[in-house]
Amino acid sequence: MKTRTQRTSRFAKQLASAVIAFAIFTPFHFVSAASLPDTFISMAKKSNLPLSKQVFCAADENGYIAGYNDSDDIQVIPASVSKLYAFDFALNTLGEDFRYVTTFTLRDRTLYINGGNDPHLVSENLAKVIKEITNGSKTKIEKVVIASRFYLNWKKVPNEITSQFKTFAAKNPDLPFANNFSVSYATKNYKGTGTRYELQSAPLPVLMKQMSNWSTNITTDVLFEQAGGSKEFASYMKETYGATESSVKFGTGSGLSDNYTTCGLTLEVIKHLEETAEDLDVAIYNIMSAPRLDPGVLRDTFATIPNTSGLLVKSGTLNYHRNYAGIANTTTGPVYFAVFSGHSALKDAERSKIFAQRFIGELIKNYKLKNISYKPSNDVIGGAVVKEVKK
């Protein structure tokens, strides 16, 4: 395993060769790369943003292209760009076939639920399980007993889940719940007899696509902990990237805590995530979001780019930080980029967002984006399966 310093040295050699090639064969692209920091500074000044808080870096398959304030000594707050790190960590730790598993057992008139820590479990999943497990029976469920680690409609607190259950039953009168059924909680999983079914969540890449599209914090934080949490994450970053606490430290996968990293490391993570997805025949566009094509938080973004097909992005917003990181899939190969735009007051957030999006437009102006041939899909519910557990 090469350390990050060793890889950076190799990257530098590649860059030197790339610079010579650019200078001889494609001077237009070389000049554009050289002028990118000036463009970045000019746009930041026009947006009235503090230059000390603005960071960007870009690279292609040959190595570094350009950057500003992007030294490995400069820490940035990634916000929800953290999710790309969490995806890389989880996919390489848990594997593409990972699914959360929640167990339902019906005995007499009591439904026992052993939570599988699945934060994606929603009413539609619950209805499907209950229809299977009751199999048309007219026997009414009088009690629901829930063990720990159970989510319903992104709720985990017992009184909130109880409320969700009552609302769910009221909206599904065809399901066999008694009028005054009770919901209680157990400290241990139920191991007794009864008719038993498992709800297996959609596979990991499908879950990550949803997390990417909607930037859901709770689901990413649960996934981060499922993969091993902060301690295992630190080990993974050191083993995979040679990165120590001086350059990266995460408390959560969502980015809501005081996570920090560097611009250059962000590009390495994105490239590694892309390579992992390719090795698994998943494809990176089935994990990351395509602005204006996929549903979610990027549905109405990057208005200055005529056609965003080929662009994959993760956005991040936290307090005084507005960030974007991703891949521009061009006809000459992928370009990896990250922009970390800081501002001094919350009222400046919109200007920071517009600045970052417009600069990314300038970054890829001299490239032709490749069309991504895929039909946007986010079928987390349909990707889940219900299976009977045989005795």
> Cα(first)–Cα(last) distance of the chain, in Å?
46
Quick one: 7 exposed, middle or buried, by C-beta within 10 A (0-12, 13-18, 19+)?
A: middle
Distance CA(121)–CA(152), nearest Å, equals 6
Domain that holds residue 315: 4-96+205-363
The 10 Å CB-count burial string (b at 16+, else e) for 358-381 is bbbbbbbeebebbebeeeeebebb
Residue burial 226-263, b: 16+ Cβ < 10 Å; e: rest: bbbbbeebbebbbebbbbeeebbbbbbbbbbeebbbbb
Which residues, 6 or more positions from 6, have their beta carbon under 8 angstroms from its beta carbon? 242
For residues 232 and 353, membership in a common domain is answered with: yes
121 close to 154: Cβ distance less than 8 angstroms: no
Q: How far apart are CA 98 and CA 365, in angstroms?
A: 39
Q: Are residues 48 and 156 in the same domain?
A: no
Supply the DSSP symbol for 141. Answer: E
Listing DSSP states for 51-91 in one string gives GGGEEEEEEETTEEEEEES--TT--B--GGGHHHHHHHHHH
Residue 50 is part of a domain; what is its CATH number?
Answer: 3.40.710.10
Give the Cα separation of 289 and 208 in Å (integer): 10
- Residue 355 covered by a domain: yes
Report the C-alpha gap between 344 and 339 in whole angstroms: 17
Tell me the C-alpha distance between 302 and 294, whole Å: 13
Separation CA 321–CA 340 (nearest Å): 7
Residues 177 and 310 in one domain: no
- Last residue of one domain, picked from the residues 153, 182, 200: 200
Q: What is the pLDDT along the chain (391 residues), one digit of tens a residue?
A: 333 333 343 343 344 344 333 333 333 343 367 799 999 999 999 999 999 999 999 999 999 999 999 999 999 999 999 999 999 999 999 999 999 999 999 999 999 999 999 999 999 999 999 999 999 888 899 999 999 899 999 999 999 999 999 999 999 999 999 999 999 999 999 999 999 999 999 999 999 999 999 999 999 999 999 999 999 999 999 999 999 999 999 999 999 988 999 999 999 999 999 999 999 999 999 999 999 999 999 999 999 999 898 999 999 999 999 999 999 999 999 999 999 999 999 899 999 999 999 999 999 988 899 888 777 777 788 899 999 998 7
pTM above 0.75, yes or no: yes
Residue 380 lies in a domain: no
Considering only CA atoms, give the Rg of the chain. 24
**Is 168 in the same domain as 270?**
no
Q: Are residues 241 and 170 in the same domain?
A: no
Residues 185 and 299 in one domain: no
Task: Tell which residue, 287, 324, 284, has the closest CA to residue 305.
Answer: 324
196 and 217 in a common domain: no
